Structure 1
Amino acid sequence: MSIQWTFIAGYLYFEVAVVIIMILPIFSPKRWNQFFKSRLFAMFQQHAAVYFYVLLGVLCLFLFDAIREMRKYSHSIDAAAHTHLSSEMKGNVKLFRAQRNFYITGFAIFLAFVIRRLVNMLIIQDELSIKAEKIIKEAEAAVQLAKTTVLANTLQASEPNTDELKDKLLMAEDSLKAEKSRVKELEEEAKMWKQKYEEAVAGSVGKGDE
């Protein structure tokens, strides 16, 4: 394999490793977003679009070259028509290499778009999770406010019942005081009649002694 195709194959393996790392649940979207916003990535991000399209253009050139070689060696094999076994074997080997280069370049281009899409999806997922947490907190605050409002309305609705209970309690206290005063009056009256009875008994005893 020549140097340029070795480089493209190494780049393809690098893309496969990056895709596997981004798919596996090793890092959360928040960590990925923090990495994408870091200074190290920011240095690359300033010219990321330029690097991406330049690399994509180079890969497309190698892809067209692989297609050209595939067409070339497929026609040469058809033209040979099994006349010479050695030339046919050489043509098959060159055709196989051209097809290999085509698949390597095609997958490299495809994974470049996949990685770009994964980066955007991870950033969007982190932003959506932040918005979801914010919405949940706002919903919890709204529920707490609704509970407080309902409790306040319940207490306000029960205030008239409380006033009625207070009035009944005051009336009961007044009636109890009246009963107590009446009992005192009865006790005083009973004492008075008892005293009169004792005086009457003492007077009748004094008359009998005379």
Structure 2
Amino acid sequence: MSLQWTFIATFLYTEIFVVALLLLPVISAQRWQKIFRSRLLNAFRSYSNLYFNVFIVILLILFADSIRDVRKYSEPKEEHDLQSNPGAETALNMKLFRAQRNFYIAGFSLFLFLVLRRLVTLLSREAQVCAANEALKRQAESASNAAKQMMEEKEATQNSKNEKDEGAELEKKLRQSQQETSSLRSDLKSAEANLSAMKSQAQSTNKAHDHLLEEHRKLQEKLDQLEGKDGSRKDD
């Protein structure tokens, strides 16, 4: 195998290994995105399109050359040439085998190179989509938390307002109760004053009544004495 086809075969084996590695489900797209953006590969990113186009051109040239060789060695040879040179048929078959081998190597290398580029692009897009989804998820969570906090603050404000209203109503009722208590105390004091006045008046009335009874008793005694004297005079 010549040097160029040895290089293409090595490149093919490398492509197979890299494609199999990219297809592993253990490594996520975000990790591959970090690897693609690492310092090691950062130098090749600015010239990636140039490298890709150069490799595509090289693989296309080698693929076209392998097709030309296959067609060249697949053409039928004249029988008298083969009969005059018995080893020519073996050499021709060997060359045809090598041409077909080179054709498959170049074809699969070209195909896997396109697949490899597509895989890298899809992994990068998947990583970007996952990052965008994570950002949207965090944004939705923050919006939900903010809405929840606003609802809690609104409920707290409403509860505080209700408590203030209840406190104002209780304070109003307390003032009314205090006013009613003051009014009742005034009425009680007035009733006690009236009761004291009535007691004093009753005591005065009792004293006057006792005095009148005493006067009546004295007058009755005087009257009895006078009647007793008049009866004794009449008897004389």
What is the TM-score normalised by the length of structure 1? 0.71
SS in 2 for 1:27: coil
Q: 1:74 to 1:139 in 2, by over 3 A?
A: same
Q: Which residue of 1 aligns with 2:113?
A: 112
Q: Distance in 2 between matches of 1:171 and 1:48?
A: 82
Q: Which residue of 2 aligns with 1:100?
A: 101
| Structure 1: tracts of 5 or more residues without a match | none
Q: 1:46 to 1:171 in 2, by over 3 A?
A: closer
Q: Which is worse superposed, 103-112 or 64-73? A: 64-73
- Note the 1:34-49 alignment, pairs <5 A: 34-49=34-49
> In the alignment, does 2:70 pair up with 1:70?
yes
Q: 1:201 to 1:89 in 2, by over 3 A?
A: farther
Q: 1:122 to 1:180 in 2, by over 3 A?
A: same
Q: Which is worse superposed, 96-105 or 198-207? A: 198-207
Q: 1:2 to 1:187 in 2, by over 3 A?
A: same
- Note the 1:146-161 alignment, pairs <5 A: 146-147=147-148
Q: What is the percentage of aligned positions where both structures have the same residue?
A: 34
SS in 1 for 2:25: coil
Q: Which is worse superposed, 67-76 or 5-14? A: 67-76
Q: CA deviation at 1:154?
A: 7.3
> In the alignment, does 2:195 pair up with 1:191?
no
Q: 1:12 to 1:155 in 2, by over 3 A?
A: same
> In the alignment, does 2:4 pair up with 1:4?
yes
Task: Tell whether the 8 Å contact from 1:29 to 1:126 is kept in structure 2 after alignment.
Answer: yes
Q: Distance in 1 between matches of 2:128 and 2:46?
A: 21
Q: Which is worse superposed, 158-167 or 55-64? A: 158-167
Q: CA deviation at 1:68?
A: 1.9
SS in 2 for 1:56: helix
Give 2:130's aligned amino acid: S
Give 2:70's aligned amino acid: M
Task: Tell whether the 8 Å contact from 1:8 to 1:105 is kept in structure 2 after alignment.
Answer: yes
Q: Distance in 1 between matches of 2:120 and 2:34?
A: 12
Q: Distance in 2 between matches of 1:159 and 1:48?
A: 64
Q: Which residue of 2 aligns with 1:129?
A: 130
Q: Distance in 2 between matches of 1:185 and 1:10?
A: 115
Give 2:133's aligned amino acid: A
Q: 1:91 to 1:163 in 2, by over 3 A?
A: same
Give 1:42's aligned amino acid: N
Q: 1:152 to 1:39 in 2, by over 3 A?
A: closer
Q: Distance in 1 between matches of 2:188 and 2:197?
A: 14
Provide the aligned C-alpha RMSD in A.
4.1
| Structure 2: tracts of 5 or more residues without a match | 215-236
SS in 2 for 1:76: coil
Q: Distance in 2 between matches of 1:76 and 1:142?
A: 77
Q: CA deviation at 1:69?
A: 2.4
